[in-house]
């Protein structure tokens, strides 16, 4: 075998290995995760769940977004909407995104989608916080119904947001969003009925008492603003 043939063979083997590895990682995200002991979803007017991971009732109104998984286009649309609002309400509202993907995967995904723009990211691989806020596994119909799949294509065509590689996490994990006031009381919530049911986070901000004009468009890279994509465990 010539040196050129050997080099080509090595390249082909490496490519095949990479594709297989990526396919296997994607396949892993379709596995059902072990069930958790779910608490009821906190309702408007009730006290928000307490956890050492999320500081509430400390004088900061807070918007909390639980992501489906890193790579989901609907999670990306939601996260970008949150990042835009965080840049407009810096110092007045705390924004928190919760991810059950690994810290490394989450941090890479956050930077890929534009950075946090002032939002905090909490890693919850064991899904303790998800369970505490009543967010369990979605059904097959909620996740991969024809309507949901069509919405994936429509989101990509209309807004340029497509599926990204999903390295870990579960496609079956439910998302959710909650607005909690400075006293730790839930003032707004949105638990999607399907994977494509993206929350209107501006409505959550309004429920916290902020009524000035707000833009919720996807943020783009800004040359004078630092984009911190650090994920916290």
Residue 165 covered by a domain: yes
What pLDDT shows up at residue 153? 74
Dist CA 188 CA 176 (whole Å): 11
> 49-72, pLDDT tens digit by residue?
999 988 887 889 999 999 988 988
Query: For the chain, what is the domain count?
Result: 1
What pLDDT shows up at residue 83? 93
Q: Which domain holds residue 41?
A: 31-207
Residue 17 covered by a domain: no
Single pTM value for the model: 0.77
What pLDDT shows up at residue 141? 67
DSSP 215: -
Residue 99 covered by a domain: yes
| CATH code, 194 | 3.40.30.10
Dist CA 114 CA 169 (whole Å): 20
What pLDDT shows up at residue 151? 67
Q: In the sheet where 176-180 sits, what is the strand order?
A: 120-123, 94-99, 62-66, 176-180, 186-190
Residue 148 covered by a domain: yes
What pLDDT shows up at residue 222? 37
Dist CA 136 CA 49 (whole Å): 15
> 74-88, pLDDT tens digit by residue?
999 999 999 999 999
What pLDDT shows up at residue 69? 86
Residue 214 covered by a domain: no
pLDDT lower than 50: segments of the chain = 4-25, 27, 219-230
């Amino acid at each position: 075998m010539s040196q050129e043939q050997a080099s080509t063979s090595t390249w082909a083997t490496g490519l095949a290995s990479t594709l297989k590895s990526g396919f296997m990682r994607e396949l892993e995200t379709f596995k059902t995760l072990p069930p958790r002991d779910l608490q009821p979803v906190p309702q408007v007017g009730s006290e928000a769940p307490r956890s050492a991971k999320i500081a509430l009732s400390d004088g900061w109104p807070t918007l909390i977004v639980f992501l489906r998984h890193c790579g989901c286009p609907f999670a990306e649309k939601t996260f970008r909407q949150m990042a835009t609002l965080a840049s407009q309400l810096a110092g007045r509202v705390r924004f928190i995104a919760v991810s059950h993907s690994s810290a490394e995967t989450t941090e890479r995904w956050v930077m890929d989608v534009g950075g946090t723009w002032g939002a905090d990211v909490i890693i919850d691989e064991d899904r303790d916080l998800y369970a505490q806020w009543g967010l369990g596994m979605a059904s097959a119909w909620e996740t991969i119904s024809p309507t949901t799949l069509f919405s994936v294509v429509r989101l990509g065509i209309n807004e340029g947001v497509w599926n990204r590689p999903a390295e870990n996490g579960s496609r079956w994990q439910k998302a959710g969003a909650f607005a909690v006031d400075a006293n730790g009381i839930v003032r707004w919530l949105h638990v999607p009925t399907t994977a494509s049911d993206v929350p209107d986070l501006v409505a959550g901000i309004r429920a916290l008492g902020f009524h000035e004009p707000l833009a919720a468009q996807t943020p783009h890279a800004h040359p004078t603003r630092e984009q911190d994509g650090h994920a916290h465990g």
